[in-house]
Amino acid sequence: MRHMLNIGGIDVGYGDVQVLWDVSLEVREGEFVALLGANGAGKTTTLNAVSGLLRPRKGTITFLGQDLARTPAYRRAELGIAHVPEGRRLFPEMSVRENLEMGALHGEARRKRRETMEEVFSIFPRLRERQHQLAGSLSGGEQQMLAIGRGLMSRPKLLLLDEPSLGLAPMLVAQVFQVASELHSRGMTILLVEQNVRHALEVCSRAYVLENGRIVLQGTGTELLANPHVREAYLGI
């Protein structure tokens, strides 16, 4: 399998505070990789380094063989990286439709905007019903669907999902994980950040565990589900 994303030993921080220490991680084409860790471990920081909001002080990030060091954040969507951020981060005063349109600003995604929107509507029929409503007025679950739909609008090669199940009722959590697995089975490459460790390990192909800004464990979902440290620290067994 081809390398999609390769993070090689990055250090990332905010001002004087270093948050990530020598983090390495890879996602191959077609994989469903999970990045797990407790609050403040540095998961969001890692994703933001991939989408270019933060610059590593050390180490490299390559996407489909291209070094991203000199690629500004706003060019990365075009390359095929879609970031569905923590807390949805929708445009609250824009309609559902406009939010989706904002997901497809460049190149092929822009040309196929209507077609992709139909696909998104068929995955999330609720969004079609609500297309003229303001995003800020949607329920939490609908907002998460819109956030994912907006990410899909760019016809990405790599989908970054940051805690998509956060704050949702159990039934909706299951639905979000199901949508993620379905996208994966249709060929989407996914990097999922989660605190819902059990669920994430059940659906992913491989996972990394981040603690205090360092990768401490990695393996397949099954391996990590059986790992004593994971069971004790994250599954409470």
Partner 1 sequence: MVLLGQAVVSGILLGGMYALIAMGMTLVMGVMKIINLAHGALVMVGMYATYICFQQWGIDPYLGMFVAMPLLFLLGCLIQRFMINRLLHVESILPENQVLLTVGVMLVLTELVRLVFRSDYRSVATAYSGKTFFLGGVSVNVPMAVGFLIAMGFTYALHLFLTRTDLGRSIRATAQDREAALYMGVNAPRVTVITFGLGAALAAAGGSLLLPLFYLWPDIGHLFTAKSFIITILGGMGSMPGALLGGLALGVAESLGATYISMGYKDVVGLVIFLLVLLFLPGGLKSLLARR
Ligand X SMILES: Nc1ncnc2c1ncn2[C@@H]1O[C@H](COP(=O)(O)OP(=O)(O)OP(=O)(O)O)[C@@H](O)[C@H]1O
Binding site for ligand X (CB under 6 A): 14, 17, 19, 37, 39-45, 86, 195
- Residue 115 exposure: Cα atoms within 13 Å on the Cβ side: 7
Beta-bridge partners for 58? 11
Partner whose binding site includes residue 195, from Mg ion, ligand X, partner 1, none (CB under 5 to 8 Å by kind): ligand X
Q: For tokens 């999609």, name the residue.
A: 4
Bridge-partner residues for 61, per DSSP?
Answer: 7
Cβ burial, residue 118 (10 Å; 0-12/13-18/19+): exposed
| Comparison of 78 and 119: residue with beta carbon closer to partner 1 | 78
Contact 37, 214 (CB under 8 A): no
Smallest separation, CB 15 to partner 1 (Å): 7
Q: Going by DSSP bridges, is the β-strand pair 32-37/58-63 parallel, antiparallel, or unpaired?
A: unpaired
Q: Which of 44, 46, 99, 144 binds Mg ion (CB under 5 A)?
A: 44
Region binding partner 1 by CB under 8 A among candidate stretches 63-71, 92-100, 194-202, 205-213: 92-100
Q: Which of 20, 35, 61, 77 binds partner 1 (CB under 8 A)?
A: 77
Stretch that binds Mg ion, among 3-11, 19-27, 40-48, 228-236 (CB under 5 A): 40-48
Kindly tell me which of 38 and 94 has the beta carbon lying closer to partner 1.
94
| Residue 43 or 76 having the CB closest to partner 1 | 76
Residues 6+ apart with CB under 8 A from 185: none
